[in-house]
Amino acid sequence: MKKRTLVTLTAALLGSTCAMAQTSPGLLSERSISASAAMELANTSLERCRADGYKVSITVLNRHARTAVVISDDGVNPHTLENSLRKAYTAFTTRSPSADMGKRPQPGLDGFMQLEKITTIEGGLPIFAGKELVGAVGISGAPGGEKDAACAQAGIDKIARLLGN
């Protein structure tokens, strides 16, 4: 009887300790796109671009703007790798499509464009789980940023269920 009580008490204490750690004001709980979801997004985007006849590079960033996945298709131009990163980074930083940067009024845009990895070129999209930013994707290589963005959106649409959207 004492052993069962001790086990129950220990379990209760561990449970309350875990609950306190999760609600502690000194800790953050953040969601991020998983590596699996990032790969699925990138592969779906690549398939869409290939079906449309485009050779592209794709960069998917996680919640902390760190690279989760990079795919550079066979025969793609070398500049597309850097450009896909810039598009994804811009979308992440601004929480909006990379093309929206070019729509910002002057002179505020000039200062923002001094930051490293910022671009006004279309093809970068933020990734949201509900209203929470969990990553971004950038694609470069299609003949026009709107085509890059369409491939990126196809990838985001594919993983929407994984994000709870």
13 compared with 72, residue with greater pLDDT: 72
Note the Cα 100 to chain centre separation in Å: 17
- pTM (2 d.p.): 0.82
Predicted pLDDT of residue 96: 96
For 102-111, the pLDDT digits (tens) are: 888 777 677 7
For 20-67, the pLDDT digits (tens) are: 345 688 888 889 999 999 999 999 999 999 999 999 999 999 999 999
For 129-146, the pLDDT digits (tens) are: 999 999 999 999 999 999
Beta bridge partners of 128: 133
- d(Cα 58, Cα 148) in Å, to the nearest integer? 9
Please report, for the chain, the start and end positions of each structural domain, with discontinuous segments joined by +.
35-163
- d(Cα 76, Cα 59) in Å, to the nearest integer? 14
Domain 35-163: homologous superfamily in CATH? Haem-degrading domain (3.30.450.150)
**3-class DSSP assignment, residue 27:** coil
**What is the average pLDDT across 109-123?**
85
Would you say 123 and 152 are in contact if contact means Cβ atoms under 8 Å apart?
yes
